[in-house]
Amino acid sequence: MGNQRQYFDFPNRTCRTARHRMVTMDAKIPPDIILLGCGTLIWLLVKYLPGFGFEIGYHALLSGMIFLLGFLIIFSAKATLYKHRTTERPGLHSLPRVTALVTIGVYRFSRNPIYLGMVLLLIGWTVMLMNWIGIIGVVVFAGFVTKFQIIPEEKMLDHIFGNEYRRYASRVRRWI
């Protein structure tokens, strides 16, 4: 196989290499690792660019509430996927396990509630550190995950579920 990229053959639900397939999973790094990297980026930015700090009363309480909301959204989304016996990571090798298009629970409000929860964790981290420069890490995470994870996932779900996915995507936003 060499340096050829792997492609998913949707009608046959098999993974193979090809030159003319239109959909690939571009993400090489799991979203959890990207989350940790962006959290570290926020910490480094705050440490080396302290001039963007802000004061806010009860910042620990506020950041804790944002963390809690983020975790609740993530756990609710994962529980809903588990209940429907489908994968939480629709990547190249897990697509054969995608058994259902989940559109209930938190998926009624966001097509990507797990990533939304991760963004909230980064916002909570930024509030905890009390520095506006941390927003850069939030934007980097959201942009990277959108380009390399969400958009390829959406293409795959469109191929797998067709009109059912397109109807869902037309009524529920990508983020919120």
Contact indicator for 70, 113 with CB cutoff of 8 Å: no
85 confidence band (pLDDT: 50, 70, 90): confident
Prediction pTM value: 0.84
The domain segmentation of the chain, as residue ranges, is 22-171
State pLDDT tens for residues 6-25. 344 444 444 443 333 445 55
State pLDDT tens for residues 56-67. 889 999 999 999
Mean pLDDT confidence for 81-110: 83
Position 91 scores a pLDDT of: 63
Helices (H), the chain: 31-48, 59-83, 113-129, 135-145, 151-161, 163-171
Position 72 scores a pLDDT of: 98
State pLDDT tens for residues 127-164. 999 999 999 999 999 999 999 999 988 998 898 899 99
Tell me if the domain spanning 22-171 has CATH number 1.20.1600.10: no
69 confidence band (pLDDT: 50, 70, 90): very high
